[in-house]
Amino acid sequence: MTWAENVHSGPASCVLNAPVSSPHPSLKAFSMVRSKTLISIFILLATGLHALPVVLDRGVQQITWPFLMWSMYKDSRPAGPITGWKTRVTARTASGKTEVVNTDLVGLSGSTIGRMFVQPWGKGDSTAARRLLLRLNRGRAEPFVQLQMVRENYLVSDTGLVRSDPPVLTYQLSSHGPR
From first to last of its 179 residues, what are the pLDDT tens digits of the chain? 444 444 444 444 444 454 555 556 666 767 778 889 999 999 998 888 776 666 666 555 555 455 545 555 556 667 788 899 999 999 999 999 999 999 999 999 999 999 999 999 999 999 999 999 999 999 899 999 999 999 999 999 888 899 999 999 999 987 555 44
Q: Tell me, yes or no, whether 64 and 86 share the same domain.
A: no
Residue 127 lies in a domain: yes
Helix (H) or strand (E) holding 108: none
Task: Answer yes or no: do 86 and 158 share one domain.
Answer: yes
Indicate the pairing of strand 144-157 with strand 98-100: unpaired
CA dihedral for 33, 39, 44, 49, sign (positive or negative): positive
Claim to verify: residue 59 and residue 95 sit in the same structural domain: no
Q: What is the pTM of this model?
A: 0.54
| 96-105 contact pairs (CB < 8 A, 24+) | 97/142, 99/144, 101/132, 101/136, 101/147, 105/136
Q: Which helix (H) or strand (E) holds 66?
A: none
Domain of 122, in residue numbers: 82-172
Whether residue 90 is found in the same domain as residue 143: yes
- Asked if 123 and 69 sit in the same domain, the reply is no
